Structure 1
């Protein structure tokens, strides 16, 4: 066995770029929907060894880059599916877009590998792992906000447990997502270090601890809800992406929403509809030609009143909507000049009682960056329409009276650790409407998994309503209480799970992230010297 491993190691050193690519692909299999986390840890361990044995800073940099490029390309393969739902650009561009995007994203793992080589190349393997983990935390944090940020997927996502357990992600309240990624890397490096020294008992013990933590059940919040717990009806209407903008389907889509929402209209409850769920414009102030067939009279008040009759007089609705900003075109005719991806709160009479505009917009999905340069080259957004969406002001809490205080994160926004709740006005729960019809088979389960991480991190339940799946109610431990699978039209009912007290991360945010990075770096750089000094004096 040892001889075989030595042969594999020698081959990897002869072809380090191919080895890094293979290890990156192996590690990406740890993410949903495959969730082969032991294989993922093995891939990361191989990556640590490959960087540790690099002979120069250039080798370390390139080994980190190749690993990151392959790893993130496979993990983000769902992006290519979005190109099959638009007509302006060839579908094959999607399969080019993902590896091209990852040319940039791979810079961050490359920088982590470079930093570890420069700082810790002469230190023991376990100390090198600590330094690499600290550097990874910093670079993953940077990836989350530089150039608007793209943190999908964080490395620590692979250690989120199954639907009924948080796994090692139970540490999120005190680490945050990016520090959990560093911890994931250090665990893999620790396996590597004890195996390299043939300390089989230590390796078995570490494997037992990690496996036990991954499989251990959650310390559930009490099932009994308080007397003032909010009742909900969460709807997944199953609107395929091909029907989202099909005007002939709008009435049918609304009828489906109405049918699934009808049960419980005589009670006080919160009704939740997804992003892209309402096929009409509900704000006042649009020219008549902007109203769709759901409002036969061309009056938004009629549309809202119709919705009020669906949800019932004591209910409150949170639904995804598109709002237009009306100006004038070159001819002086009223026209839409921009749009907002929004959530609107309606009471049982159809009155607007609150709203939220999506703040973190998707490049190429909701706006075209550098439009004056890229549009003449034939590039366009991946969604219908030529006008760009404008961002809202950021996380805010909607006070819905008897339905509690709702935080709102629309679709992709839920992946941004530390930016999902208003710290000054903490909500009781987070509503995450989404349209996951774009994202194939890998995107929706990864999206759901990241929503679970936000629930654990913030100590808040998350309620996800999607057009096609996966919709779910997630408690503050990250456990999925109820769900609706992909490709189904259904509704689920219950009481919103209670929030936990504010977590350490919810209070300190990424100050805590950088503190963990500093701790890893200090331990990796300082402990070997302390131990050497202690041995010399002993």
Structure 2
């Protein structure tokens, strides 16, 4: 051990929780937009070593919690920007929200750290026992999966996202949460190598390389299969529109006509080829259905639809984000739905999708009566809550194929984005990332790319300010529009693959992968390794 590493070790022994906090912050640099994934692996390795040296389980839990606070505070810093749009709240309140969320989310890595410490052979003085590394990867995978559904779930930035776009092929088999476990195993390779357990390090690395190679070859086979299956099939022409309308302008009544003019200019047909027009989430403030109180209409549904039809060729079809209201028996508005509506070129409405996975404090206020009574109703915009839809289902768009819909952050929930009984031809992800700051949109895009790989389906994203994109079934970006730029994409929906292993079995696979790692860890532990 060099003099420098000795000083670092001494500092870590004196201030372990501070070091864990800093390592957590560094680990978040592997996510978009920085994509410094080697730093993430190094930070993970340092933290795992720190946890292994903890004298008690309580200390291990505290080190995991400190790491999680740093990890989530940096990785989710864009939420501070999002809160400033909630009734013009001050920036400092946004940062309080980020830290409070991080304090909760940090419980999950804390549980993983405590469990891994409990299984580690206590006689191991090198802090590099194979059983410890395996159980750490297993428990991180399981706790991350828990994070995706406990209290409705918050699955943003699972560790496996750092594999995009480099080595994400195994997500076809073990999903994003399984990829998170692999990231922990790679950090374990660094630990084994540092403590000169070269045989163990080489064996683990070789196993991971072989696993990735098999997944990559399977992905290449899926490309060839898609090419064969697509022969003779009609391609789906699409126009993706990004108007570059910021969050501060979106609901400003005096700017409504100018905002629509931007959408109209970018939507006008270039020729008479029928196409599927894709607009962002909540693209227009107009209500397209009859039956609501007159005060809610700036223009009639007939006039609102006529404006849209004027932009379409006779064979066109449009999917756009719009709002739907819910009324009680007295005719009063008691709720709303964040919807994607289908409008035909003759002005008739087709099938609709209602967002199912709503954003707490963005689309509804948990415990609204209590928080309103103590003056905290401003934590969510509006006086009514959005209501959830029934969940993923596929819209039949006729000659334009079958579309699976995922509105905004619904796309981040691995294994929850497709109606498996009615598999779509592609996933449409309209979103409004205008309030996600500089880090949120590229992180959102990276997670959409993983959904494409997992499901073997292309994903098309339409956002008001970026990043709109067409993603193929291997997670590659075919075309995209940059942030804060107006534009349109005229292209075709890439071909889907046959259902992947993950598409058939969902999160049973990463959970099963984690349990296999846990079983291997227990076997090593019984042999004192």
SS of the equivalent of 2:328 reads strand
Provide the C-alpha distance between the structure 2 equivalents of 1:86 and 1:511, rounded to a whole number of angstroms: 38
Provide the C-alpha distance between the structure 1 equivalents of 2:256 and 2:349, rounded to a whole number of angstroms: 22
Provide the C-alpha distance between the structure 2 equivalents of 1:199 and 1:398, rounded to a whole number of angstroms: 53
Provide the C-alpha distance between the structure 1 equivalents of 2:285 and 2:260, rounded to a whole number of angstroms: 7
Partner of 1:24: 24
The superposition leaves residues 385-444 of structure 1 with CA deviations (integer Å, 9 ceiling, x where unpaired) of 211000000000000010000000000100001100000000000000000011110100
* Equivalent residue for 2:278, pick from 272, 282, 299: 272
Alignment of 1:275-294 (within 5 A): 275-292=281-298
The superposition leaves residues 237-271 of structure 1 with CA deviations (integer Å, 9 ceiling, x where unpaired) of 11100111111111111121111111346222111
Alignment of 1:219-258 (within 5 A): 219=220, 221=223, 226=231, 227-258=233-264
Residues 189, 201 of structure 2: 8 Å contact kept: no
Report the alpha carbon displacement of residue 126 of structure 1 after superposing the two structures with TM.
Answer: 2.5
Partner of 1:35: 35
* Equivalent residue for 1:512, pick from 509, 512, 516: 509
Report the alpha carbon displacement of residue 200 of structure 1 after superposing the two structures with TM.
Answer: 10
CA, structure 1 residues 423+198, in 2 after alignment: closer, same or farther (shift >3 Å)? closer
SS of the equivalent of 2:235 reads coil
Alignment of 1:193-208 (within 5 A): 193-197=192-196, 199=198, 206=205
The superposition leaves residues 117-168 of structure 1 with CA deviations (integer Å, 9 ceiling, x where unpaired) of 112243652221110111111111111000010111101111212xxxxx22
Partner of 1:312: 313
Provide the C-alpha distance between the structure 2 equivalents of 1:13 and 1:268, rounded to a whole number of angstroms: 67
Residues 364, 380 of structure 1: 8 Å contact kept: no
Residues 160, 449 of structure 1: 8 Å contact kept: yes
SS of the equivalent of 2:512 reads helix
* Equivalent residue for 2:152, pick from 129, 133, 148: 148
The superposition leaves residues 17-49 of structure 1 with CA deviations (integer Å, 9 ceiling, x where unpaired) of 011011101101111111101111100111110
Matched, 1:425 2:408: no
Q: Which runs of 5+ in 2 are unaligned?
A: none
SS of the equivalent of 1:116 reads helix
SS of the equivalent of 1:387 reads coil
Partner of 1:164: none
SS of the equivalent of 1:350 reads coil
Partner of 1:128: 132
Matched, 1:263 2:254: no
Report the alpha carbon displacement of residue 201 of structure 1 after superposing the two structures with TM.
Answer: 12
Residues 266, 312 of structure 1: 8 Å contact kept: yes
CA, structure 1 residues 204+489, in 2 after alignment: closer, same or farther (shift >3 Å)? farther
Matched, 1:434 2:431: yes
Partner of 1:365: 362
Provide the C-alpha distance between the structure 1 equivalents of 2:446 and 2:140, rounded to a whole number of angstroms: 21
Please report the TM-score for the alignment, with normalisation by the length of structure 2: 0.92
SS of the equivalent of 1:481 reads strand
Residues 279, 430 of structure 2: 8 Å contact kept: yes
Residues 362, 381 of structure 2: 8 Å contact kept: no
Provide the C-alpha distance between the structure 2 equivalents of 1:188 and 1:108, rounded to a whole number of angstroms: 18
Residues 309, 349 of structure 1: 8 Å contact kept: no
The superposition leaves residues 490-525 of structure 1 with CA deviations (integer Å, 9 ceiling, x where unpaired) of 000111001111111111112112101111111112
Alignment of 1:84-233 (within 5 A): 84-87=84-87, 89-122=89-122, 124-161=128-165, 167-197=166-196, 199=198, 206=205, 219=220, 221=223, 226=231, 227-233=233-239
Provide the C-alpha distance between the structure 2 equivalents of 1:504 and 1:335, rounded to a whole number of angstroms: 47
Provide the C-alpha distance between the structure 1 equivalents of 2:293 and 2:52, rounded to a whole number of angstroms: 64
Please report the TM-score for the alignment, with normalisation by the length of structure 1: 0.91
Provide the C-alpha distance between the structure 1 equivalents of 2:476 and 2:149, rounded to a whole number of angstroms: 28
Provide the C-alpha distance between the structure 2 equivalents of 1:243 and 1:155, rounded to a whole number of angstroms: 34
Residues 174, 504 of structure 1: 8 Å contact kept: yes
Provide the C-alpha distance between the structure 2 equivalents of 1:326 and 1:201, rounded to a whole number of angstroms: 64
Report the alpha carbon displacement of residue 306 of structure 1 after superposing the two structures with TM.
Answer: 2.6
Partner of 1:536: none
CA, structure 1 residues 6+398, in 2 after alignment: closer, same or farther (shift >3 Å)? same
CA RMSD of superposed structures (Å)? 2.5
